[in-house]
Structures are given as C-alpha cells and as structure tokens.
Amino acid sequence: MSFSKIKFDKKIVLSFWIILIALIIAAPTILPVFRLNLLGRYLSLSIVALGVDLIWGYTGLLSLGQGIFFALGGYCAAMYLQITSSSEFPNNIPEFFALYGVEKLPFFWEPFRSPVFTFFAIWIIPALVAGLIGFLVFRNRIKGVYFSILTQASLLVFFNFFNGQQKLINGTNGLKTDVTQLFGQMVGSESMQRLFFWVTATLVIASWFFAKWVVKGRFGNILIGIRDDEPRVRFTGYNPVIFKTIIFSIAGGLAGISGALYTVQSGIVSPQFMTVPFSIEMVIWVAVGGRGTLLGAILGAVFINYAKSLVSEALPASWMFIQGGLFILVVTALPEGVLGWLQGDGPRNLLQRFGLKRKIETYPSLEINKKEGNNE
Amino acid sequence: MNNKDLLNLVDITVSFEGFLALNKLNLNLKKGELRAVIGPNGAGKTTFLDVITGKVKPTKGEVIFKGKSLVGRKEHKIARLGVGRKFQSPRIFENLTVKENLEISVTTPKSPLNLINKSIKDEQLNEIERLLKIVNLTKKVDSKAGSLSHGQKQWLEIAMLVGQKPDLMLVDEPVAGLTDEETDLTADLLKSLSGENTVVVIDHDMEFIRRLDSNVSVLNQGTVLCEGTMETIQKDKKVIDVYLGRPED
C-alpha cells in the first residue's frame, strides 16, 4: 500500500517539474517580450522574498531593510556593465561622470572591470554588509521591533548616502544598464532579456533548493528554536548570535542576486530600490504567500507583483488600496499566509463552517488519521 | 572550599535597583549530590539559578564551577561547560517534533557548521532512543511537542536536560501541574540521575521534596536560612517561622 502511494507522489512531483521546466523553456515564445520581461523581474523579486522568509518566517527576524542588500547587488551589476561599455566616452569612464566634471574613475569602481570579481561581488558584498550589520545588532541582543526599526533606519542611511553621491554613483539618477553591452549585445535587447529570463528562472529554482537545504534538519530547527524561544536555545549551549548572523547574511546574499537580476531586467538601478515602502512590500509578499513555507514566498512575490501590474494598468490609483487590504486580510484572517492556510487546517475549517465536513470532536490524530492512517 | 565540590557560590549578592534578590548567599555542592532548594515566594530561588546559568550577573560574589569562575561568561558558554537548566514552566520547542527537540539537546559540537554539514551521529540517535524510553515518549517521537500534555512536556524537557549530559542539572519546579503519579515518577527519575550527575531541584511541593530524600537548603530573603536533611529542617525554628509554619495553598 505505502509503496504505491510513494510512487504516486513521485509521479506527481516528476510531472510538476516537467511542466515547470517546459513552461520556463516555452515562456519566451508564448509570452510577448513585454510580459516575459515583467515575469522575469517578478521571478527575480522572489529570490529576495526567499531571503525574507528565511530570516522572518524561520528565524523571526523582521527586517525592513532588505532593500539595502537588494540595491547593493543591483549596483554591483550595473557598475560592471557601465564600466565595460564606456570605451567611447570621455576618459574611458561612464558617461555620467562628465556631467559632474569627474575625470578619474573613483577607486572602488576599478575592481568592477573584472567579470569574475563582479560575479562574486553581486552576492558576497551584500552578504558581508548584512553579516556586519547583523552581527553588531545581534551581539547587543537587539530583538523584535527594535531590530525592525534599526534595519529601517539603516535603509534610510543607505538611501540618503546613495542619493547624494552624484560624483561617485550618479546619485538619485541611478545607473542605467539597458544601453550597456554584455557579450557584445545590448543588455536591453530582446535576445538578452530572454537569456536573463532563463537565468532568473534557473536561479529561483536553485535558490529555492538552497533555502530548503538550509532549513532542513538541525540547522533549520535551531532557527525555528531561536524564533520561538531564543533564551532556551542559549541555555542549551548554542550561540544564537552566530546562527542569526549566518542566516541574515544568507538573506543578504540572496537579496543581492535578486537585485542584480532585477536591475538588468528593468534597465536601471537607483536609490529608489532603497525606499522604505519597497522593503515593506517584500515583507508583504512573504506574509501573503505564507511565512515559513519558502514556496509561499516565491508565489507571493510573483503573484502580488503580477497583480500589481495588471491592476495598475486597469485602475492606476487603486493598487495601494488593494495591497493594503490584502495585507490586512492576511493579518486578520490568514495569519499563516495563503500557502500556510492551505497546508494547515484552513480548507477543512472552511468546509466545516459551511457544514460540508464533519466536525472533529477529539483530536485529528484519533478521528482522521484512523481512517486515512490505514493507507500508511 | 573543597576540591570535591562541583559548585561553590561565595557571598553572592544580586541587587535589582537596590532590592536585594540575593544577599550574601553561600552554597556548596558536592559531585553526585542531589540537593533540594525550597523557600517561600520571592526568596530568590529562581534568581539563584539565573546567577549560575549566567542570565543574571551577580553584583558581588563568585560562582566557581569545576574550579572555574562562571561570573561574566555567556549563557551558552556556561551551558557548554556542563550546566543544564530546566525551566519552571516547560520550555520546549513546540513547533518541532519530540525527536527534533531531543536532537537539539544531544547534538555536539553545537556549532553551525556541524549542524548544516553533517547528519546526526548514530550514538546520538541511540541516546535519543534511550531518553525516549526513560520518559515514556517513544510513541510520541514524531509528534509536535506542542501537542503533548503538560506532564509530557515537563518530561520532554527533563529528557532534553539529561540529553545535554550536563555535570550539573538545575531543575526548577519539575512537578508543577503534574498528577500525583507523575510526581512520584519524576522524583524517582531525579533520584536515579543523581550519583552520576549532580542535581539541584527547586520546588514548593513538600511531599515531592520529602520523596527526594536529599539534603535540603532553605532560602529566605535571598540567603540560605538553613541546610540539612528534611528532618533537621522540619525541626528548625527559623524555618518553621518563615515557611513550614504557614499553611500551604
């Protein structure tokens, strides 16, 4: 009995993956480039959402500053693209420098001439910054709402810094990537956008597996332990500071990858990536999708953003109300998020409410599993 | 101070903004000893545990454990040195299964790299099985800890404490909310643990303390009022005045 059940499950999983991979391969031919580009952007946002789920859903750290790491990844990618495409401009440096009379490339741009450096910088720099901020905060045992406020304050610091530095990184105008070149092609071109879509889809799946690997087993259990009762974890002999720093740093790295992918697909990186509402939106995607489910974070990010673009096209001013309403709905009615609700007792309770399913009077383990348990 | 002592508390004073939670408390524990600590509410019993485990830093005084001072060390370092603690209300990880809870406790070394890289060792799995048998939770191994009854939660936490293999076990009110039968079983369990381990039990329940059949320290107003066997304690006039004489709730 149990054998056939497992086989059946495996078949479902296998067909799910076949359909998913087929969709990813086919998407560029099915969807018009505009829609494909949007989907690619939303998929890249789902990577930062995965990071939020790791730190918030699993470890209980509500960060309102993920935009910092997202933007850092974006800037790393954009700096590389700008500098390698600047041979025709005065002094062989990106065009915008001429506007401010800068003739010499600022020193920190230099390493971004190297594609290898950039490849690593995109995720290591945000991860290091996150690790540093995290370590200082966690070591001082700053928790809960104070942690959230601190991350938001850091976000504002970074925003103001990047916004004001015209001579270093073009300030509020940001760095454009769509007219730069990569592999001899225009980054904004259709073929490159198709490539970016595939890269993004692959990285979303890879990040998902990575996140699953992180939370699987004892490491993930310690994260949950820290979320639910941090002092208890301490008294058992674990140092929560290290665990929190590691997971915050991982989330930072994921945010960096996400930001880089988003930048090349939207054509620009600017301090707008570090605005307060955007970082809060990241949290909303995860809350709506389902905290602590990983898949919920991906689905939340993609669907909410897709809904956002559809609604904004039809009724431009109404999106903010819908998003706010969605958040209130989730907080009040679906605290576990949509996926958490589906995985938990949500559907059963709903059916019970309409009298379509028998009420459980004792424990589910006694009443339901007795019938279903025979199969196992 | 004696070399056979596992723990010495020397003149411990803890002051919370002028209020003396502990006042020049002295207490020595021998290796393998089972010691009960009783005292009325506010006598400083929990603060006493907080000082040993590093949660509260004493204003004055010294805590010597296995010849090393514990004052100023972080909680997790003290735990790794071999001090385990069971909390007053059961503090287990309710969203994890019974097995996962025990895995957290028996795992060594407790470093992130070890946890993420390697799977749990066979001997640790055997240890978990042994613990499950002791506390009678073998059937519940894959249940969420949050779904256990109160008594089972207490026992799971005791099992987690034992799984940590501490040299010193600090047990805060292990029988609060347990049935009489469960209380008796818990007393037997703690007695069986002493000898190999050093156990400090804090409780209000006089029947339970009597059943432990150990030396008793009576705390009052942050200091040790009296020490000795249950019989000596019961005859001590000071103790009768502050504690035993009062009707129990």
Which pLDDT value is given to residue B244? 61
* Pairs of residues, one from chain A and one from chain B, whose beta carbons lie less than 8 Å apart: 75
Peptide bond into B109 cis (omega under 30): yes
| Contact between chains at B105 and A236 (C-beta distance less than 8 A) | yes
Cβ atoms of B63 and B70 within 8 Å: the answer is yes
How far apart are the C-alpha atoms of B126 and B193, rounded to whole Å? 18
* Amino acid residing at A144: G
Interface of A with B (CB under 8 A): 214, 217-219, 221-222, 224-225, 228-229, 231-240, 242-243, 246, 363, 365
> B57 at the A interface (CB within 8 A)?
no
Q: Which two tokens stand for residue B224?
A: 């040790």
- The structure's pTM equals 0.89
> B1 at the A interface (CB within 8 A)?
no
For residue B36, list its beta bridge partners: B201, B216
Which residues, 6+ apart, have CB-to-CB distance to B3 below 8 Å? Answer: none
> B105 at the A interface (CB within 8 A)?
yes
| Contact between chains at A234 and B79 (C-beta distance less than 8 A) | yes
How far apart are the C-alpha atoms of A313 and A319, rounded to whole Å? 10
pLDDT category, A3, cuts 50, 70, 90?
very low
pLDDT at position A347 over 80: no
Cβ atoms of B33 and B211 within 8 Å: the answer is no
Cβ atoms of B225 and B218 within 8 Å: the answer is yes
Q: How confident is the model over A124-175, as pLDDT tens digits? A: 999 999 999 999 999 999 988 999 999 999 999 999 999 998 889 898 999 9
Give B-chain residues touching A57 at CB under 8 angstroms: none
* Residue A147 exposure: Cα atoms within 13 Å on the Cβ side: 23
pLDDT category, A376, cuts 50, 70, 90?
very low
DSSP code of residue B110? -
Give A-chain residues touching B105 at CB under 8 angstroms: 236
pLDDT at position B242 over 70: yes
Q: What is the mean pLDDT of residues B230-236?
A: 85
pLDDT at position A353 over 80: no
Give A-chain residues touching B120 at CB under 8 angstroms: 218
Chain A nearest-CA residue for B96: A221
pLDDT at position A2 over 50: no
| Contact between chains at A236 and B80 (C-beta distance less than 8 A) | no
pLDDT winner (highest mean) among A69-78, A94-103, B10-19, B30-39: A69-78
pLDDT at position A103 over 80: yes
Q: How far apart are the first and last CA of chain B?
A: 38
| Contact between chains at A235 and B96 (C-beta distance less than 8 A) | no
* Residue B140 exposure: Cα atoms within 13 Å on the Cβ side: 22
Give B-chain residues touching A229 at CB under 8 angstroms: 91, 93
ipTM of the complex: 0.89
pLDDT at position A365 over 70: no
Q: How confident is the model over A235-266, as pLDDT tens digits? A: 999 999 999 999 999 999 999 999 999 999 99
Chain A nearest-CA residue for B103: A218
- Nearest 5°: the CA angle B149, B153, B155 is 120
Per residue, what are the HEC states of chain A? CHHHHHHHHHHHHHHHHHHHHHHHHHHHHHCCHHHHHHHHHHHHHHHHHHHHHHHHHHCCCCCCCHHHHHHHHHHHHHHHHHHHCCCCCHHHCCCHHHHCCCCCCCHHHHHHHCHHHHHHHHHHHHHHHHHHHHHHHHHCCCCHHHHHHHHHHHHHHHHHHHHHCHHHHCHHHCEECCCCEECCEECCCHHHHHHHHHHHHHHHHHHHHHHHHHHCHHHHHHHHHHHHHHHHHHHCCCCHHHHHHHHHHHHHHHHHHHHHHHHHHHCEECHHHHCHHHHHHHHHHHHHHCCCCCHHHHHHHHHHHHHHHHHHHHCCCCHHHHHHHHHHHHHHHCCCHHHHHHHCCHHHHHHHHCCCCCCCCCCHHHHHHHHHHHHC
- Out of B76, B120, B143, whose CB is closest to A218? B120
Give how far A142 is from chain B: nearest CA, Å. Answer: 16
Which pLDDT value is given to residue A369? 53
Residues 159-188 of B with CB under 8 A from A: 160, 164
The residue with greater pLDDT, B25 or A375, is B25
Which pLDDT value is given to residue A8? 58
- Out of A221, A231, A240, whose CB is closest to B104? A221
Give B-chain residues touching A54 at CB under 8 angstroms: none
Q: Which two tokens stand for residue B36?
A: 């009960």
pLDDT category, A373, cuts 50, 70, 90?
very low
Q: Which helix (DSSP H) or strand (DSSP E) does residue B153 occupy?
A: helix B150-163
- Out of B94, B105, B119, whose CB is closest to A228? B94
Q: Which two tokens stand for residue B65?
A: 């454990």
pLDDT at position A57 over 50: yes
| Contact between chains at B115 and A219 (C-beta distance less than 8 A) | yes
